[in-house]
A and B are shown apart, each in its own frame.
Chain A
Amino acid sequence: MAISVSMTVNGKTVSGDVEARTLLVQFLREQLQLTGTHVGCDTSQCGACVVHIDGESVKSCTVLAAQVNGTSVTTIEGLANNGTLHPMQEAFREHHGLQCGFCTPGMVMSAIDLVKTHPKPDEHTIREWLEGNICRCTGYHNIVKAIKAGAEKMSAA
C-alpha cells in the first residue's frame, strides 16, 4: 500500500514511498534524516514539529506525508543561507531565546510565520500567537524578546 510522494523540501525536490499512515514528521525525520523537526507530544499541542507547507506554519505531526505531495516544505534546516543564520534564528541566539533547544525549531518556524502577517508584533500578539508552542525551559520571557527583535530585523531586511 505504498504511496509515492514527491515534494520540495528546503528547496530540493525529494520523493519517496510512504505508507498512508506515515506522518509528515516521520517522513522528514526517518526518510530524509531531517531530525531538526521534533516530536514532543501526541495531541498536536506542543509545536516542536512546526514546519512550513507552502509558507504556512503547520504541525507536521498532524499532517500525513501523502497530503503534502506536490507542495513545498521548509524545515528548520532550510532557514540558514550559506551559513548565515536567518534573522529570527539570530535573534533567538542574541536574546537567549532557547535553552535545551528541543522546542526551538518549532518556535522559530512559528515565529517566522507570525511576522508574515504581523511585521511588528507587540508582546501581547506574540504571546497569543505562541499558543501552539510549548517551552518548558525559558518561561517564554526571552522567546518573546527574541521574536520581537527578530521581527524587526526581518522587516528591516
Chain B
Amino acid sequence: MYNFEYNRPASLDDALKALSSGEEVKLMAGGQTLIPTLKQRLAQPSKVVDLSGIAELKGITVEGNAVVIGAMTTHATVAASAEVKAKIPALANLAHGIGDPQVRNRGTLGGSISNNDPAADYPAALMALGATVHTNKRQLAAEDFFAGMFTTALEEDEILTKVSFPVPEKAAYAKFAQPASRYALVGVFVAKTSGGVRVAVTGAGEDGVFRVSDFEAALSKNFAASALDGITVPADGLNTDIHGAADYRAHLIGVMAKRAVQAAG
C-alpha cells in the first residue's frame, strides 16, 4: 500500500478537523474494507483518520420504539447484543452473517453503510426497517442515504454517527452467499412495520440495495410466503457475473423473500 499519515482522534470534533485538514483524507471505521483496498493500491489517501478512539460513536441503546446503534459498533457487538436480539432479532442475525468472526470483530455498522458495497448486508436492513441515518450535521432516511453502488449522500465534511432502527412487528433476513467471497449474492430483508411491509434486496442490483414494491404490496395484504407465489422480479438491472446471471438472481430474490417471510413467522 502507499504510505499515508495516520490520525486517531479522540472526539468527533477532532475527527472533523482532521477530515478537513487536506485533500484525499479518508475516514477509517473498522478497516475491513479500507485496508484491503489500500493493500491492493486501489486508493491513495494522504491521511487516514481512524475513528476507533471516539467513544461517542459506539454503543447500542433503545430509545422509544427504536434501537439506536453507534456507527463504530462492530458487527460482533450487534450480533451479541441482548437489546438487538430482543427488539430486532433479524438485525442481530444479519450482523452474525456478515463476513467471518474475525471481520465481525473489527467491521462496523457505519463503515459498512458508508461504503455501500452493493453486496453488503446492512443496507438491506436499513431500507427494509426504514432506518434513519444520523450524521454530525443531519438526519437522513435510509432511502435518501444510499445513492447507488459504493455511493452515499454523505458529504465530504460529514461523519456518520449512528443509525436508528424502528422496531418492526416482525422481520427476517435471508441471504444467499456468493460462494467464494461470502458476500450476499442475494440478500432479502423483509420487515412488517406499522406502516406496512417493506422488502429490501441487496447483492443483486447493479445500483445497490433496492425495494420490491410488488412483494411489499402482496405481503402487506397477506404476510405469508404463499402470498409471493407467482410474483416475479424482472432480471433487468440485476448483476450478472460468474457466480450467477441476472435471471438466477431474480429467481433467488423470490426464494430468499419467501424464506425470510417464513423465518419472520
> Which residues of chain A have a CB within 8 Å of any CB of chain B?
1, 3, 19-21, 23, 42-45, 47, 50, 56-59, 61-64, 66-67, 69, 110, 113-114, 117, 129, 131-133
Q: Tell which of B5, B40, B52, B182 touches A20, judged by Cβ atoms closer than 8 Å.
A: B5
> Which residues of chain B have a CB within 8 Å of any CB of chain A?
1-6, 8, 31-32, 35-36, 38-40, 48, 50, 52, 76, 80, 99-103, 105-106, 181-182
**B100 and A47 within 8 A (CB):** yes
Chain A residue, CB-CB nearest to B104? A132
Shortest Cβ distance from residue B93 to the other chain A in the assembled complex, whole angstroms? 13
**A62 and B105 within 8 A (CB):** no
Chain A, interface SS category: mixed
Chain B, interface SS category: mixed
Residues of chain A within 8 A of B100, CB atoms compared: 45, 47, 131-133
Q: Tell which of A19, A66, A132 touches B101, judged by Cβ atoms closer than 8 Å.
A: A132
Residues of chain A within 8 A of B8, CB atoms compared: 66-67, 69
Contact sample, A vs B, 15 pairs, CB 8 Å cutoff = A20-B4, A20-B6, A23-B35, A23-B39, A45-B100, A47-B100, A50-B102, A56-B105, A57-B102, A58-B102, A63-B31, A63-B106, A66-B8, A132-B99, A132-B100
* A64 and B31 contact, Cβ closer than 8 Å, known pairs A57-B101, A57-B105: yes
A54 and B76 alpha carbons, distance in the complex (Å): 14
A59 and B105 alpha carbons, distance in the complex (Å): 9
Shortest Cβ distance from residue A70 to the other chain B in the assembled complex, whole angstroms? 10
* A67 and B39 contact, Cβ closer than 8 Å, known pairs A58-B106, A132-B101: no
Shortest Cβ distance from residue B255 to the other chain A in the assembled complex, whole angstroms? 21
Residue among B5, B31, B105, B182 with the highest chain A CB neighbour number at 10 A = B105
* A62 and B2 contact, Cβ closer than 8 Å, known pairs A47-B100, A131-B101, A132-B103: no
A47 and B104 alpha carbons, distance in the complex (Å): 13
**B103 and A66 within 8 A (CB):** no
A19 and B6 alpha carbons, distance in the complex (Å): 9
Residues of chain B within 8 A of A43, CB atoms compared: 36
Shortest Cβ distance from residue A130 to the other chain B in the assembled complex, whole angstroms? 8
A61 and B35 alpha carbons, distance in the complex (Å): 9
Q: Tell which of A21, A42, A64, A132 touches B2, judged by Cβ atoms closer than 8 Å.
A: A21
Chain A residue, CB-CB nearest to B106? A58
Chain B residue, CB-CB nearest to A41? B36
A58 and B248 alpha carbons, distance in the complex (Å): 34
**B106 and A19 within 8 A (CB):** no
**Can you add 17 more A-B contacts, CB < 8 Å, to A23-B39, A44-B103, A66-B50?**
A1-B5, A20-B4, A21-B2, A23-B35, A44-B32, A47-B100, A50-B102, A56-B76, A57-B105, A58-B105, A63-B35, A66-B6, A66-B8, A69-B8, A117-B80, A131-B99, A133-B100
Residues of chain B within 8 A of A61, CB atoms compared: 39
Residues of chain A within 8 A of B105, CB atoms compared: 56-58
